[in-house]
Amino acid sequence: MPNEIVAHGAGVRECSYAEAIREALAQAMEADGRVFLFGEDVGVYGGAFGVSGDLFHRFGPERVIDTPISELGLAGAAVGAAITGMRPVLEIQFSDFITLAMEQVVNQAAKIHFMFGGKASVPLVIRLPGGSGTGAAAQHSQSLEAWFAHVPGLKVVQPSTPHDAKGLLLAAIDDPNPVLIFEHKLLYKTKGPVPVEPYRVPIGKAAVRREGTDITVVATSIMALRAEAAAQRLAAEGISAEVIDLRTLRPIDFPTVAESVRKTHRLLTVYEGVKTMGIGAEVSAMIAESEVFDFLDAPIARLGGAEVPLPYNPALEKAAVPQEDDIVAAVRRLVREGEA
C-alpha cells in the first residue's frame, strides 16, 4: 500500500484520515504490548477500507488477528480480553453489523464496571465505519451512533478530521472503559495536518471549527465539514455562522455549545442519523432545559437524516441525508426568523 503521508512542517505533516488511524494503532501497539487489533479482514487484506494496511506484517498474526464473521462472538471475546487486562481494538467491518453484538456491548461492556463496584474495568475500543455516500444501501450505510450515546457506561466519539481521528483513538485506547469510535466512510481519504508524535484529543471536548456571531451550527462527523463549507458560503451573504464539531457524543461538551448560543442567539443542529431522537435532539433539549434558552431569538432547528432506510440509488441516497445546500438553506431560514 502506498504511503499517504506528505510532509507538512516541523513535526507535522499532511496525511489521510485512514493513515492517521493506522499510525495511532501502530504507536499504541509499539508502546503497549497489551494493545491488539482484531476483526474481519483486518490482517492480510489490510481492512475492508484499507485502514489496518501493513499492520499485520509489522506486528504479526498474534496482534493483528483476522476473525470469523461473528460479531456477537467478537464482541464477547473483546469484553473478555479487556476484563483480563488486555486492551483490544475491535473493528466491526460496517457499523451496521454492531446490531449483531448489542448484547455484549450494551449489557456487558457498558455495565461491568458499575456492577462490580468499580473493581473491574473494560478498556475496550470498538471502531465502526459508518455513514452513507458509498452506494452500500440500507444495511451498510446507517448512522447508529445515537443508539449507543443513550447507554450509560459507554463513551461515543465521531472524529471528523485526520488530526482528531488519531488523537481520539489514542485517548480511547488509554481509557479504562469502553469507547465506540464511529468513523465515517467518506472521511477515510480526506487529508489534513497530523503531528508525527503520539498525542491525545480529550474525550468530551468539542471543537469550535469556525467562529461566528449570527448562529451556532452544532454538527457531527462529516456534517461538521459540510457545515464549515456552508458557513463559508453564508459569509459571502453577510451571515456569520459559528460551527461547533461535537467530536464526542457521550459525554457532550455542553459548556462549549452553551457559550456559543449565548453569543449567537440561534441554534441549528446537523447530523446524519435519522432526525427523530437523534443526537441533535439531545443537544436541543439540553439548551431548552437550561438558562441559555432565554438567549434564543429563534426556535431551535434540527437537520437530520430522512425517516427512511438508506436507498441504494445515488440520487436518493444523497437526498436522504443533509447536504451543504440543506445547511445553507436552514441557516438562512433561522437567521431571517430571528430578524423578523
Domains, the chain, with CATH or none = 11-195 (3.40.50.970), 207-339 (3.40.50.920)
Q: Known catalytic residue: 140?
A: yes
Q: Over the chain, what is the mean pLDDT?
A: 94
Q: Phi-psi bin for 204: left (phi > 0), alpha (psi -120 to 50), beta?
A: left
Element (H, E) at 236: none
113, 140, 163, 184: the catalytic one is 140
71, 242, 282, 317: the catalytic one is 71
321 close to 272: Cβ distance less than 8 angstroms: yes
Quick: pLDDT tens for 280-337: 999 999 999 999 999 999 999 999 999 999 999 999 999 999 999 999 999 999 998 7
CA distance 107 to 105: 6
pLDDT for 1 equals 31
Quick: pLDDT tens for 102-132: 999 999 999 999 999 999 999 999 999 999 9
* Gyration radius from the chain CA atoms: 20
Which of 125, 16, 31, 21 shows the shortest CA–CA distance to 81? 125
